[in-house]
Amino acid sequence: MRIHQLPAGEWGKVVAIGVVVAVLTGAIMFAGLQAGVSPLPRPLALAFAQTLLGPVPMPVGMLFHVAWVTLMSVVYVVLFRDALTFMRALGLAVVLWLLVLVFFFPFVGWGFFGLSESPRLIVAAAISHLLFAIFLWGLSRLAFSSRTVTG
């Protein structure tokens, strides 16, 4: 693992990948909330924004989500540009999932591992992070040459 210098033309691709991953994962999570199948009391990015800023509307939470997912997508490509594998995307997703469980859930008042709300938050967060890994890897495969993107 090393920090790669990306050519100017690749920065647009990386940011676009991040935004698309954020939109796809956000849409799925929002649909789960709307359908009542998600155990989260509200979107985590919205809860985080509200904890930091006070009462804010849903679009502010969406912006937090897009910014965070885009940043983490950039991290994936900058660190692993020589081999953008699914296992590396999954590894990043696992690290981010653990960060959610031990930092973000307690920060927004849902307790360590989200246990103040429900143990089901652990699984819900795992599913969303698995989707993050799948979308990030898949879009990277589309955006970058197959020579540097492997299974």
Chain segment 110-146, per-residue pLDDT in tens: 999 999 999 999 999 999 999 999 999 999 999 986 5
pLDDT, tens only, 73-84: 999 999 998 899
Task: For residue 101, give the nearest of 89, 117, 114 by alpha carbon.
Answer: 114
Collapsing DSSP to helix, strand or coil, 115 comes out as coil
Task: For residue 132, give the nearest of 10, 24, 32 by alpha carbon.
Answer: 24
In the structure encoding, which two tokens stand for residue 29, read together? 């999570």
Which has more confidence, 82 or 69?
69
What is this structure's pTM? 0.91
d(CA 133, CA 93): 6
Q: Please spell the DSSP secondary structure of 30-67, one letter per residue.
A: HHHHHHT----SS-HHHHHHHHHHSS--HHHHHHHHHH
Task: For residue 48, give the nearest of 103, 113, 96, 120 by alpha carbon.
Answer: 103
Over residues 80-104, the mean pLDDT reads: 96
**Residue 1: predicted pLDDT:** 67
**Residue 31: predicted pLDDT:** 94
* CA 86 to chain centroid: 15
pLDDT greater than 70 at residue 150: no
pLDDT greater than 90 at residue 5: no
d(CA 93, CA 139): 15
Contacts 24+ apart (CB under 8 A), 115-123: 117/39, 117/40, 117/41, 118/39, 120/39, 121/39, 121/40
Over residues 7-33, the mean pLDDT reads: 94
pLDDT greater than 70 at residue 147: no
**Residue 53: predicted pLDDT:** 96
